[in-house]
């Protein structure tokens, strides 16, 4: 937050005009004019609290005749000051992961959960589950109550026995099966048949009225579809559906003379050749039982079930949920493929899990709550360090952190956010405060695992800066006030120079100007996965994994998705000798491997020996409160004294601010 308060050009001009004339032996500077008491107080209040002083605060300052150190300290004890502290660090850390977390919304629920509007996945996931994007289940048929067929003219009659009927709704291992179908509008054009005569409310009546061809030839392509009448009320209405493409010229008939399929003669190999009548029968992918896919050209919908409210509204009433999404399995009961990864959303046997924890609330509210919580965490870490008057650089090393409801559940329940967030819980489950998801405004403090290091290992920092190089770059920019750029006299070698083909950027000609520093420094984040917030625990991610090496040598470069963090392909001699090694160890020297073990905390410890952290903090606080960078002359006069005093004061952030706002530099008119 910046406040425009240096609009004193006329006064500065007057001071300049009042200066003594230039003498023969050289210029003489005019005395430095300082802002009046009221102006000083206003500047302080705007800078420290984000608001102008109150009338009472002006009166108190006039009565004292000056603004004292005690006054500044009193301002920094107000809650408004800590709001400014959080805003300052939000800007410093770029705490916004909205664009850094890939969420394709495939796990986002649609539907209110009431009658006729069951909760279900209707995004891209519904193509694999029901036959087309945007399709939900049949919200009007209870999966467990066999009392209706949507298309009785085309479907087998319901078994009279209740147990047999219920069994028909699920396969042998409890996977929900379709209870109704519609022809897919991507393949068929459907014409409503009862527009002129509302009594034609079934396909049987439409057939009797000769609307389905002679002898009801197209009876099986009569589709009872829901249409809206009287505003929000719906009813089933018969529609005749025929292939939209004129290429399906051949009709396949059954023994009763009814069309059961349309064929496209001489269809190219990559084009659908035959469209069969829709039924309640699913297709098997590659003939594998349990690996179901919807029939081509058909929307095949299961019914709904009633279950307790989902985790995002755990205290709410029961809701209607599509039978597929209501499942709680951890693996496909037929193929044993896991339901604990992003693939759950396209596997008919998986579902949303316990409390619907694998799915997101409608309208993106759960995702937005998680992102907001991740963005806020580093601000609260900085706030707590400044509030307790601890050494400022504890913000880079402390294990203390905070969680609210969305973060607590994300870390405590490993199924929440699956397929969207890839984050290691920063502490053991029993060390994490248990806060219901809905309590987004409730934050509780806890202590993270020993591998954690201040804001530098928060999900916010790791996601916002997704690679080791990006993490190094922002650390240097934010906390050392340094950027990476080749020297002015740098020259790129000739294109044919073998040095251009060096894969190690720390050695490649032209690149090594920057990467000779970036690569070894990036190793401090070597135990943190890129493009995720995962800590690569040595117990689960050893430096070398022989299984990954064997897979790499056999040409299986993914090793069944188990070796994504390891070197699986060789592009040079070092790569060939490093197959099966954790990627972060590639091209590392023995000293750089120590950086991996030491983590970001070791980097901070080393930087504290140089004085760069102190000098950069002084520069940033100066710019924050004076609204401009330090000039060369100001750096000569103030930078080292302020940095040294900052260090002697135990790196207390409030002490640094106090020194700045009480200085002549802050109070003068320039």
d(CA 74, CA 76): 5
Question: Is residue 319 helix, strand or coil?
Answer: strand
Q: Is residue 4 predicted with pLDDT exceeding 50?
A: no
What pLDDT score does 605 carry? Answer: 97
Minimum mean pLDDT range among 228-232, 294-298, 303-307: 228-232
φ/ψ of residue 66, rounded to 5: -165, 165
Q: Is residue 547 predicted with pLDDT exceeding 70?
A: yes
What pLDDT score does 638 carry? Answer: 97
Q: Report which DSSP code applies to 108.
A: B
483, two tokens = 């950027």
What is the average pLDDT value for the chain, to the nearest integer? 92
262 strand-pairing partners: 251, 275
pLDDT digits (tens, 9 = 90+) for 499-518: 888 999 999 998 999 999 99
pLDDT digits (tens, 9 = 90+) for 59-106: 999 999 999 999 999 999 999 999 999 999 999 999 999 999 989 999
76, two tokens = 């920094």
Largest CA distance in the chain: 120
Question: Which runs of E-coded beta strand occur in 171-213?
Answer: 180-183, 188-192
Select from 477, 589, 466 the least CA-distant residue to 534: 466
Q: Is residue 580 predicted with pLDDT exceeding 50?
A: yes
235 strand-pairing partners: 227
What pLDDT score does 31 carry? Answer: 52
Structure confidence at residue 662 as a pLDDT band (50, 70, 90): very high
d(CA 433, CA 431): 6
d(CA 152, CA 175): 23
d(CA 385, CA 392): 6
**What proportions of the chain, in percent to the nearest 5, are helix, strand and coil?**
35, 15, 50
Pairing of strands 319-322, 304-307: antiparallel
Minimum mean pLDDT range among 25-29, 175-179, 327-331: 25-29
257: left (phi over 0), alpha (psi -120 to 50) or beta: left
What pLDDT score does 670 carry? Answer: 59
pLDDT digits (tens, 9 = 90+) for 203-249: 999 999 999 999 999 999 999 999 988 777 889 999 999 999 999 99
Mean pLDDT, range 285-312, rounded to an integer: 96
Distances (CA, A) of 299 to 19, 86, 191: 87, 51, 17
Select from 578, 503, 509 the least CA-distant residue to 544: 578
pLDDT digits (tens, 9 = 90+) for 599-640: 999 999 999 999 999 999 999 999 999 999 999 999 999 999
Cβ neighbours around 244 below 10 Å, total: 14
Cβ neighbours around 226 below 10 Å, total: 16
Percent of the chain with pLDDT over 70: 95
Q: Report which DSSP code applies to 331.
A: B
d(CA 347, CA 339): 8
pTM: 0.90
109: left (phi over 0), alpha (psi -120 to 50) or beta: beta
202, two tokens = 């079934």
pLDDT digits (tens, 9 = 90+) for 15-70: 333 344 444 444 445 455 778 899 999 999 999 999 999 999 999 999 999 999 99
pLDDT digits (tens, 9 = 90+) for 407-455: 999 999 989 999 999 999 999 999 999 999 999 999 999 999 999 999 9
pLDDT digits (tens, 9 = 90+) for 368-397: 999 999 999 999 999 999 999 999 999 999
């Amino acid at each position: 937050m910046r406040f425009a308060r240096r609009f004193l050009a006329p006064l500065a001009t007057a001071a300049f005009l009042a200066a003594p004339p230039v003498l023969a032996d050289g210029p003489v500077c005019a005395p430095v004019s300082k802002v009046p008491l009221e102006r000083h107080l206003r500047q302080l209040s705007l800078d420290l609290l984000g608001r102008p002083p109150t009338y009472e605060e002006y009166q108190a300052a006039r009565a004292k005749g000056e603004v004292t150190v005690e006054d500044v300290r009193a301002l920094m004890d107000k809650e408004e000051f800590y709001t400014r502290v959080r805003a300052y660090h939000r800007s410093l850390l770029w705490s916004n992961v909205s664009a850094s977390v890939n969420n394709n919304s495939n796990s986002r629920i649609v539907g209110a959960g009431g009658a006729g509007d069951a909760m279900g996945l209707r995004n891209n996931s519904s193509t694999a589950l029901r036959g087309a994007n945007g399709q939900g289940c049949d919200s009007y048929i209870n999966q467990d109550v066999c009392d209706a067929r949507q298309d009785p003219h085309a479907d087998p009659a319901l078994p009279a026995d209740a147990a047999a009927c219920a069994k028909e709704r699920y396969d042998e291992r409890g996977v929900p099966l379709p209870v109704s179908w519609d022809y897919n509008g991507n393949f068929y054009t459907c014409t409503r048949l009862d527009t002129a005569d509302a009594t034609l409310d079934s396909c049987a009546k439409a057939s009797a009225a000769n609307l389905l061809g002679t002898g009801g030839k197209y009876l099986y392509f009569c589709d009872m579809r829901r249409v809206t009448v009287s505003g929000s009320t719906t009813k089933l209405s018969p529609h005749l559906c025929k292939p939209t493409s004129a290429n399906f010229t051949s009709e396949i008939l059954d023994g009763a003379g009814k069309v059961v399929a349309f064929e496209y003669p001489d269809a190219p190999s990559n084009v659908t050749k035959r469209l069969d009548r829709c039924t309640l029968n699913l297709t098997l992918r590659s003939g594998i039982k349990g690996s179901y896919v919807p029939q081509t050209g058909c929307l095949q919908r299961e019914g709904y079930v009633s279950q307790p409210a989902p985790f995002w509204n755990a205290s709410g009433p029961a809701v209607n949920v599509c039978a597929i999404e209501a499942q709680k399995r951890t693996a496909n009961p037929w193929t044993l493929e896991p339901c604990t990864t992003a693939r759950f959303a396209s596997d008919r046997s998986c579902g949303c899990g316990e409390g619907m924890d694998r799915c997101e609330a409608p309208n993106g509210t759960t995702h937005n709550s998680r992102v907001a919580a991740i963005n806020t965490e580093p601000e609260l870490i900085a706030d707590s360090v400044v509030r307790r008057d601890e050494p400022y650089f504890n913000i880079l090393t402390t294990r203390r952190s905070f969680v609210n409801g969305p973060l607590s559940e994300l870390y405590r329940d490993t199924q929440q956010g699956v397929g969207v967030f890839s984050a290691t819980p920063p502490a053991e489950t029993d060390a994490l405060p248990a806060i219901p998801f809905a309590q987004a405004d409730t934050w509780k403090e806890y202590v993270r695992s020993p591998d954690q290091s201040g804001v530098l290992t928060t999900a916010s920092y790791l996601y916002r800066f997704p690679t080791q190089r990006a993490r190094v770059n922002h650390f240097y920019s934010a906390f050392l006030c340094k950027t990476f750029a080749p020297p002015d006299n740098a020259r790129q070698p000739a294109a044919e120079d073998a040095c251009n083909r060096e894969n190690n950027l720390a050695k490649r000609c032209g690149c090594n100007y920057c990467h000779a520093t970036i690569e070894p420094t990036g190793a401090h984040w070597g135990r943190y996965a890129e493009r995720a917030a995962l800590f690569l625990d040595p117990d689960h991610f050893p430096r070398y994994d022989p299984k990954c090496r064997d897979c790499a040598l056999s040409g299986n470069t993914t090793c069944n998705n188990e070796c994504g963090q390891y070197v699986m392909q060789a592009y040079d001699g070092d790569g060939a000798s490093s197959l099966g090694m954790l990627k972060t160890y590639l091209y590392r020297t023995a000293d750089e491997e120590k950086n991996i073990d030491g983590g970001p905390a070791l980097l901070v410890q080393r930087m504290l020996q140089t004085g760069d952290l102190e000098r950069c903090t002084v520069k940033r606080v100066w710019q924050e409160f004076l609204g401009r960078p330090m000039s060369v002359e100001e750096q000569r006069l103030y930078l080292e004294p302020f940095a040294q005093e900052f260090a002697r004061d135990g790196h207390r952030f409030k002490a640094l601010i106090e020194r700045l706002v009480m200085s002549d530099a802050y109070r003068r008119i320039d």
